[in-house]
Amino acid sequence: MDQRPSTILRIPQPLKSLVQRFTYLGLIVAAFGLMLIGKIDAVIVDQVRGEVINVAAPILGAISRPIQTMANVVDGANAAIDMRAENERLREENARLLQWQTAARKLQADNAALSKLLQVVPEAQASYISARVIASARGTYGNSIVLNAGAVHGARKGQAVLGDAGFVGRVADVSSHASRVLLLTDVSSRVPVMLESARARALLVGGNVNRPRLVFVTPGTRVTPSERIVTSGDGGAFPPGLPVGVVASVTDSAIEVQLFADYDRLEYVRIGDFGLDGLVGRHMPEKNE
């Protein structure tokens, strides 16, 4: 720019020095080494990631709050503009939901009576902790969010994370005051699910794109668009019946699922403790136990 060019030329050319060249190559090799370690032993990398997130969490929490507030103000202004129409819509929805409530109450009573009759083993009571989303990185290279709740608040690796609309993902790394959640869209996310009405099992596989896919669907199942997908509870990692999404498109090559969770607008989520230790608990015992 308008800098004196002579000052730029006066700085010694860093690549000229042999030592620096070796440093450069050494660091590149080290970075490749890190990638390899991450591939071979993910546990170590997860622990380091957890610690770094723990340190960064207070800063991220501080930055994310004013941005969220600003977004809320904008949302509030938008809501005020079409309040009338929104009110009308909510009134209608409320009427519809009240009908559903009656139906649900009846089913709940039926269910309780039948369960008692058949002496069904009761499911463990779930408890939840709520946490704020303080960081989110979604895209081609990974899909995860960071929450401001950690081990001291009761978060544990492998727990299910729920938003207002449905299943969000699972806790991947936990440190003392923060945790990272692997979203369903991440390329390494695999969740056992089922088609709600057909009761056919499948695996929900992320691909770092907006819509995860269904694979290993029970043979002979006809999958149709707009069928609801819920967790199946297979493997004991997540409880059965958590709402996941609906089938968005069915082609010869892939069955895509539109998730209920709106990742663009996640602000607060719940970490569910369903009393399951599932796959994670069996393979990775807690160190301090």
Partner 1 sequence: MNVAFWQRIDQSARSLTPFLISVALVLLSVVPLPLPGFAPVVPALAAMSVYHWAIYRPNLLPFSAVFAIGVLYDLLSGAPVGLFAVVFLSVYGIALTQRRFIAGKSFIIYWFGFAIIGFGAAIEAWLLASLWHLTLLNFRAVWFQYLVSVGTFPLIAWTFMKWQQTLLIER
Residues that bind partner 1 (CB under 8 A): 1, 3, 5, 7-8, 11, 14-15, 20, 23-24, 27-28, 30-39, 45, 48-49, 52-53, 56, 59-60, 63-64, 67-68, 71, 75, 133-146, 180, 182, 186-188, 207-210, 263-267
Q: How far is the CB of 212 from partner 1 (least distance, A)?
A: 12
Q: How far is CA 40 from CA 35, 99, 157, 281, in A?
A: 9, 54, 20, 20
Residue closest to 209 by CA, chosen among 183, 174, 233: 183
- Residue (135 or 194) nearer to partner 1, CB: 135
What tokens does 20 get? 């620096």
Q: How far is the CB of 11 from partner 1 (least distance, A)?
A: 6
Shortest distance in whole angstroms from residue 103 CB to partner 1: 33
- Block residue for tokens 């546990």: 43
> Closer CB to partner 1, residue 24 or residue 108?
24
32/101 with CB nearer partner 1: 32
Min CB(18)–partner 1 separation in Å: 14
Tally Cβ neighbours within 10 Å of residue 248.
14
Q: How far apart are CA 48 and CA 44, in angstroms?
A: 6
Least distance between partner 1 and beta carbon 158 (Å) = 16
Comparison of 76 and 241: residue with beta carbon closer to partner 1: 76
